[in-house]
Amino acid sequence: MWNRKIPGAAAIALFTLPCTGAAQDALDGVLETATTVDCAFSLMTLGNWGDAQPEAEIQDSDLTIEFIEVNADEASARIASGFGTYDIIVRYARGYLHFIQSFLDGPLYVTTILEKAGPGGGLMAMHSRHEHTDFALPGFTSSPEQYYGECRIAE
């Protein structure tokens, strides 16, 4: 007798399989061996706690980040910035490359790059800043921020 659940289960399995196209296959594992990555984030969300509930504001961004001396096997990398170069933690896991920067005075920054092509030809990426101060200083992070953009592996 025909089991009516099989066609539905087969359809779900078909639509939940990862993309196996040639373009996606070319990206598989590319982040695992990257040693230098340049990122540009064009959009950000600025969060804060309002009087009644949390609030968020979307803004344009020109944030760029360069990761150098990336070694996923050793979980180490460096971030180059206008304030100097700092050691950070890196982890590659099944198509995700995570950079973790934990500051001694409290804040935590996390950048995640996906092995998935973005609309601008780079790899999709997001950058989060977990930080809060009671007052805002122009040019410095004072509230939680989430950035969206793309990264490119430097040759």
User: Chain-wide mean pLDDT for the chain?
Assistant: 83
Average pLDDT on 143-153 reads: 94
Distance from C-alpha of 131 to C-alpha of 139, rounded to nearest angstrom: 14
Per-residue confidence band for 144, with pLDDT thresholds at 50, 70 and 90:
confident
CATH fold of 29-153 reads: Lipocalin (2.40.128)
pLDDT at 104: 83
Q: Specify the pLDDT at position 125.
A: 98
Give residue limits of the domains in the chain.
29-153
pLDDT at residue number 60 = 96
Task: Tell me which residue of 129, 123, 119 sits closest to 150, measured CA to CA.
Answer: 123
5 pLDDT band, cuts 50/70/90, is very low
Instruction: Check pLDDT > 60 for residue 9.
Output: no
**Taking a C-beta distance cutoff of 8 angstroms, is the pair 143, 131 a contact?**
yes
> In the block, which residue shows the tokens 């609309």?
119
Please report which confidence band the pLDDT of residue 85 belongs to, taking 50, 70 and 90 as the band edges.
confident
Tell me the C-alpha distance between 36 and 57, whole Å: 31
Please calculate the CA angle 74-86-150 and round it to the nearest 5 degrees: 80
